[in-house]
Structure 1
Amino acid sequence: MNKNIYFYYPSHVIGGAELLFSRIANYLASLNYNVGYIGFKDDIVLSLLNLKVNFIITSDIIALPDDSVIITHPARCFEIPKIITNKTNYLFWVLHIDELKHINQFYKLNNAYTKKVITKMIKHKALVDIDKQTTQIIEYFSKTKMTYESKIPVMLNNCCFKIRKKLLFQNAINLAWIGRLSRDKIYSLINILYNLENISLKNTEIYFHIIGDGECNHKLKKTYNNFHIIQHKTIAPNQLSSFLIQHIDLVFAYGTSLLEAEKLGIPAIAPYYTTNKTFSNEFVWGFNLKDYCLAPINKEWYSNDTNTIENLLNNFMENIQFHSTQAREHFENFTLDKQINLFLQSVNRTTFSNNTYLKLYKLRKIYILKNLNFKNKIRLKIYYYIYKILKKKGLIFYD
């Protein structure tokens, strides 16, 4: 018997998680699974979901069918509303290598408490991730071995493609960055632009397109001497492929954005993932990444040596067809039809129940209470005194 699958990820901005969750929901719905998505009444994914996906507006209390599984990020684990059902389990999917830091920062927790949360998830086989690199980070942080198959690579829809054989325009190469201009990506982009300013391509004009927007846009220079820069801000998901096909020869990206190019036969160069200023000139082809890694933090995740931007671009222009073919072959490891079974196995395996979730929630309350100063502890005691009186009178139904 198939479980009812519900994604919990309310959001007003489009990003990798929103696209991935809506993509999987649509795919499973097309296979006649009972799939739902919990979000805001004006959620960004409403324009992405097909009519077979049951959309539920998030509120304090949500009723779901029996035998449901809720999929979300670990960093969203304390936002989930009260779920009314006879049986609900949870699956927490780590989609970012800094996810554990995000839990600490967002909920103002420390490593010791977050470690307890992660260990509890692992114990119930409820924590999954996107690649071997992330698995190692989780195991190192939690000091707990993930003895089950925890890896679920990101997945994209398959599509028609055409192997590239030449540049789109004579005597010009059109490069692109795809990704948000956010704190976790901006320094990788700045490093790419720094290196492009110092290269030489024979008889070839360089055009660099920035596809994406964000709070760190102000950190970018607007003009460069060695190449032309063109900013497009965010391009809608349903328009991105056609834009890349018509305008772009080669992409710089990591994560799902890298695959968005490769699925079209457009090669992608992967920078190191960094949240700090860097002036490294070490890059690698996306198709040379291994173990499903799409945001490498070091050379362990490369199957070949790194190279400079100048060398990679010259190699590309000498044999465009080879690089286009390799890119498409790499993408084919990440299609929905190839990876969906790993996702469904994890959905059926998790034993992280509503009762387990409530225990974790209470543990967080204890942690917060221990870390309050004396004045706030008094305020909290007054709050709970009033709360108990109101609950006895039937004026409060949900904690």
Structure 2
Amino acid sequence: MRVVFYYPSMIIGGAELLFYRTACELHKLGMNIAYVDYHDGYIAKKLNDENSGIDTISIDKEPRKSLESQDVVILPANFARVLDTLDFCSANCRLLFWVIHPENLVPKLPSQIPLPEKSLSYRLLSFFLLRTERKNITSLLNICDEYNGIYYMDGACYRQHKSVLGNINSPKILPLFVPSKGIISAKFNRSSVSGKKLKVAWLGRIDKSFKHFILERLIRDLNELGLYETLELCIIGQGDGIEYIKKVVAECTEVDVRFVSHVEPNLLQDYLFQNVDLLCAMGTSALEGAKAGIPVVCLDASYQPVDFEYKYRLIYQGEGLSLGYIINQNWFPDENKLSIKEILLHVRENFRLHAQKSLKFYQEGYEPSNVIKELKKAVEATNLKPTCFPGKLFRKSLFVRIWRAFR
């Protein structure tokens, strides 16, 4: 059996890092591993430069290698909807879909349609255009579940699917794999950070989809506090939303902001530990701070401007293993109760307590050896194959045709 990770990408972000690290860990354990990427994709180049021993399979270079019947392919769940286009898959290879974002597979109108999500026009348009799509995706998910071929990274992802698509028969949780180098305990000896510049950081891809709006909210909230607080904000990450964020920063003169485009994965834990007092992030990026033993604010994603009074939460205050929700002006989670001013005050006055609680959240929910054990069980258990899906599920609905026209 060979385990094949599928995530073609030209850049590095939380999801790419997740797949890279998980592939490397399974390879260390003696498993036969391959990685599907562009021939010059970030992870493909990294694996080849490292002489990792992991086979790389290029999807954009001829002749293309086909996957074999003994392969188990691990993919982000959003690829389930376009499985019929992944022609490199053998009909008999087994599939394992991992829901690593709450919006994976959730049908939405194209972002280019200039209507607020809560408007009557948007809701009516969604009802007529997305009805068939929702039905098809729900059927697809239940087929995946029937054959043990889909797992959710946390309860927030399943909650989002349930709210939009209905109940999944037997949802299964597979937490993210975020390895740790071991914990440096020096910061736990420091009970507070009073009397010094507080170093805040954002970590994560800066896209123009669901992350740039919450980052903008964070910058503007910190800027308001900059009149009274001595703050520094370090923005670590890259993506197509970086120019948008730089324009926001230019308007915010009360907080000292600097940009770091990239930190090598093997250096990231030490970098955060040595340079950051409070990390603000979502998903795998939030876990990077938790495992480093620093306080972490878990941010929520938004596809609309966060132009309302957004409340924050520390990572351990979320429901279950949640690493971020999808929010809008009409809803954000009950766990979010603190202003950014209150968060900073808590960190200044009791740094050690919040650092220890962040670390405990990581250790109890995302301990690497336990996650790998569960992943290996999932790989063995899946019996999902491309042939399990009736062809009608992949017919292009009116929604898909419109989406492609706007893309």
Instruction: Give the TM-score of the pair, scaled to structure 1.
Output: 0.80
Deviations 1:311-354 (A, max 9, x none): 11111111211111111111212132121122222222222123
Residue 55 of structure 1 corresponds to: 56
Match of 1:125 among 135, 138, 148: 148
Larger radius of gyration: 1
- Provide the C-alpha distance between the structure 2 equivalents of 1:132 and 1:162, rounded to a whole number of angstroms: 30
Deviations 1:7-64 (A, max 9, x none): 1112112122211111111111111111211222212112443623222223686344
What is the RMSD of the two structures over their aligned residues, measured on CA atoms? 3.1
- Alignment check: 8 A CA contact 1:206 1:228 kept: yes
Q: Does the residue aligned with 1:46 lie in a helix, a strand or coil?
A: helix
**1:13/1:44 contact within 8 Å kept:** yes
The range that moved more, 188-197 or 250-259, is 188-197
Match of 2:177 in 1: 155
Matched position secondary structure for 1:180 = coil
Residue 17 of structure 2 corresponds to: 19
Question: Residue 352 of structure 1 aligns to which amino acid in structure 2?
Answer: L
CA distance 1:227–1:54, change in 2 (3 Å): same
Over residues 148-192 of structure 1, what are the superposed CA-to-partner deviations in whole Å (9 max), with x where a residue is unaligned? 5x1111111121322321678962111111122212111111111
Q: Tell me how many residue pairs correspond in the alignment.
A: 362
- If asked which structure has higher relative contact order (CA below 8 Å, sep 6+), I would say 2
Pair 1:344 & 2:376 matched:
yes
Q: Is the 8 A contact 2:192 2:349 kept in 1?
A: no
Are 1:94 and 2:99 matched, yes or no? yes
**One-letter amino acid of the counterpart of residue 384, structure 2:** F
Alignment of 1:207-356 (within 5 A): 207-219=232-244, 220-278=248-306, 279-297=308-326, 302=335, 306-332=337-363, 333-356=365-388
Change (3 A) 1:246 1:170: farther
1:71 to 55, 66, 74: 74
State the secondary structure of the residue aligned to 2:105: helix
Distance 2:334 2:28 in 1: 35
**Post-superposition shift, 1:125?**
2.4
1:181, 1:287 → 2: CA distance? Answer: 24
Moved more, 338-347 or 47-56: 47-56
Whether contact under 8 Å (1:201, 1:314) holds in the other structure is no
User: Is 2:86 aligned against 1:80?
Assistant: yes
Aligned positions of 1:362-381 closer than 5 A: 363-365=393-395, 367=396
Given candidates 134, 138, 154, the residue that maps to 2:157 is 134
Residue 348 of structure 1 aligns to a residue whose secondary structure is: helix
Cα pair distance change 1:73/1:200, threshold 3 Å: closer
Identity rate of aligned residues, in percent? 21
Report Cα offsets for 1:258-281 as digits up to 9, x if no partner. 111111111111233322222324
Alignment partner of 1:193 is 2:219:
yes
Q: Is the 8 A contact 2:15 2:284 kept in 1?
A: no
The amino acid across from 1:336 in the alignment is P
Structure 1 stretch displaced more, 341-350 or 238-247:
238-247
User: Which residue identity is paired with 2:42?
Assistant: I
Offset at residue 200 of structure 1 (A): 6.7
Secondary structure in 2 aligned to 1:100?
coil
- Mind listing any 5+ residue stretches in structure 2 that lack a counterpart? 112-129, 403-407
8 Å contact from structure 1 (residues 37, 53) kept in 2? yes
Q: TM-score, normalised by structure 2?
A: 0.79
User: How far did residue 6 of structure 1 move?
Assistant: 0.8
Which has the larger displacement, 250-259 or 128-137? 128-137
Say if 1:118 and 1:142, in contact at 8 Å, map to a contact too.
no
Check conservation: 2:140, 2:393, Cα contact below 8 A.
Answer: no
